[in-house]
Structure 1
Amino acid sequence: MRKANQLVGATLAELGRNIKPGVTTLQLDKIAEEFIRDHGAVPTFKDFPNPFGGPFPASICTSINDVVVHGIPSDKVVLKDGDIVSIDCGTLLNGYNGDSAYTFGVGEVAPEVKQLLEVTKASLYIGIEQAVAGKHVGDIGAAIQDYCESYGYGVVRELTGHGIGREMHEAPQIPNYGSHGNGVMLKAGMCIAIEPMITMGERQIWMLPDRWSIVTRDHKPAAHFEHTIAIRKGKAEILSTFEEIENH
């Protein structure tokens, strides 16, 4: 699990080095797929089944501005100065899954959008602080919700984090809202993906006709950060990493 997740972190860092105005999201997808396969892994998102339509056609999700998650890479979507792009990436390595996401700024991003990114990323770590053996899934969600709503942001309800292991999505679901002490009790050894999806405006979302992309109804920006972690009796161990992304 650790190796699969470290590879996701390295892939996101490789993409970060290529994110600039003028680049298409399909170019990023090609870089990601090549990088993942060169490291002996398989991109888990490629051909991932969809209950609403056809399988996912790419190796990463590229969600720009008001797209919350599941944006499909395209040669028609060109990054512009001031955009934000959330890249969600999954790998299957030696039978185990890695899953992580990071929202990048493209060129000069407006201060209020930068704050959305900072708060969303901080809320991920606030959620992780609650992810210890003996606590409950609701403790994670409540911590994320309280922090993000204190800034007036919306917390998406319909999409959640998840358990992860040999399958990319396993039980339990990990919502980004909730009540302390509610939900499944966390046990040492469980692996979960925590992924706040936070909107600058209202929390309501739509699905686009492509049957994948989820957008904010008010078309205000949304941010998305995700780590895969292992539950311990003390502090959780973060298996994925943003270190290389932030040091480049």
Structure 2
Amino acid sequence: MPTYTDPPTAADANPIERVLSRIRTKSADLPTPEEVEGFRLAQKLSFSCAQAVAAEMRPGWTEGQTQDWMTSYLHDHGVRTSLHKPIVGFGPRSLAPDAEWFPAKGAGLTLEDNDVAIIDCAPIVNGYAGDVAYTIQVGDVPELTEAMDFLSDLRNRIPGQFTLPETAATIFEWVTGEMEGAGYQNAVNGYHGHILGHRVYRHRPASANFRHYLPTVPFGYKASWHSPGFLLKSIRRALMPELLGPFHTGPKTGVWAIEPHLRVGTKYGVKFEELLVVEDGYAYWLDDTSQKRIVITAGN
């Protein structure tokens, strides 16, 4: 079974990350209307995949089966690569165990009645990345409904945080404070790197159409489920400016994949992820598809 720290451990102070995150990279440039539309279409396909697999899922499905279904769906819709392979977390894995938010290995866990599923996919469509995550509940689970209501309210207020003059690090602090004030835990503190969000890019054709991922040996499992193009572009842009964590002090403009993830005690995790466009003094979500709730009927 997955292991996790309860509560999740906050990040240690990192002065190097603070300094590196100040570097202004091309990712902080304001997107053009054409680029915004490209990201919108990529996100639309991402949510279509999430909603399509949710319509098929039933108790008894495994995480691995769900990931394979999503991979096939994206391929059938013209996707040749993604920022990362589809990630599915049922039950305990929805809590984001310590440094273990990644695709299930093998069959993984099995979906049960009164369970929760988080599905996360990031296809590259015509060079644009659409990284989203969706939470689905099985049956009537009041605790999950309340947590999803909380995240919906948090989502409404996040764009305003990006327009404030304070550094991006305060956004991480604010999200953590809001979650803890409502009785939840910030599951992102269980992620490797404590990442609340990351910038997304337009990829060149060679990268957008490269179908292969790095082998687990010798690169390790974490590298093996990210596309080489995404890894190389992030490294070329110094990495730290591209990640929204507790120490980010650089520019906030650009297109971000924002992924708040909370823990409901030690039972469930609830998450959303979608693209946020940040301009000077203004920030907005590309659409409201993430707010469509999906509940799988228990016992089917």
Fold-level match, TM-score > 0.5? yes
Q: What's the counterpart of residue 49 of structure 2? A: 11
| Contact 1:13–1:245 (CA under 8 A) maintained in structure 2 | no
CA 1:224–1:133 in 2, change beyond 3 Å: closer, same or farther?
same
1:26 counterpart = 2:61: no
Within the alignment, does 1:81 sit opposite 2:113 as a pair? yes
Aligned residue identity for 2:172: G
Residue by residue, what CA displacement relative to the aligned partner does 1:129-155 show, whole Å, maximum 9, x if unpaired?
322385631343233222211112111
Q: Shift of the alpha carbon at 1:80?
A: 0.7
Equivalent residues in 2 for 1:1-248, closer than 5 Å:
1-44=39-82, 59-67=85-93, 68=96, 69-72=101-104, 74-75=106-107, 77-109=109-141, 111-132=142-163, 136-155=167-186, 156-157=188-189, 158-160=193-195, 161-165=197-201, 166=203, 168=230, 170=234, 171-175=241-245, 183-187=249-253, 190-201=254-265, 219-239=266-286, 241-242=288-289, 245-246=292-293
**CA separation in 1, counterparts of 2:80 and 2:135?**
22
**Contact 1:6 1:241 (8 Å CA) reproduced:** no
The alpha-carbon distance between structure 1 residues 71 and 108, as it changes in their structure 2 partners (threshold 3 A), is: farther
Q: Which amino acid aligns with 1:223?
A: V
Could you report, residue by residue, the CA deviation over 1:2-47 in whole angstroms, capped at 9, with x for unpaired residues? 22111111111112212332222233223312221222223425xx
Distance (whole Å) between structure 2 residues aligned to residue 99 and residue 126 of structure 1: 20
Cα distance in 2 between the residues matched to 1:27 and 1:244: 25
Partner Cα distance (1:223, 1:92) in 2: 25
Determine the C-alpha separation between the residues in 2 that align with 1:18 and 1:99.
Answer: 21
The structure having more radius of gyration, on CA atoms, is 2
- Counterpart of 2:6 in structure 1 is none
Cα 1:74–1:114, aligned 2, differ >3 Å: closer, same or farther?
A: farther
Q: Which one has a larger percent helix, Structure 1 or Structure 2? A: 2
Distance 2:272 2:66 in 1: 18
Hey, what's the Cα distance between the residues in 2 that align with 1:144 and 1:21?
32
- Figure out how many residues of one structure are paired with residues of the other and give that number: 212
User: Higher RCO, 1 or 2 (CA under 8 Å, sep at least 6)?
Assistant: 2
TM-score (structure 1 length as normaliser): 0.73
Letter in 2 for 1:173: L
AA matched with 1:37: H
Q: Call closer, same or farther: CA 1:240–1:27 in 2, change over 3 Å.
A: farther
Amino acid at match of 2:243: Q
CA distance in 1, matches of 2:88, 2:119: 5
How high is the sequence identity, in percent, across the aligned residues?
23
Normalising by structure 2, report the TM-score. Answer: 0.61
Q: Aligned-pair RMSD on alpha carbons? A: 2.8
Deviates more, 1:16-25 or 1:129-138: 129-138
User: Which letter does structure 2 place at the counterpart of 1:66?
Assistant: P
User: Aligned equivalents of 2:63 and 2:287: distance in 1?
Assistant: 23
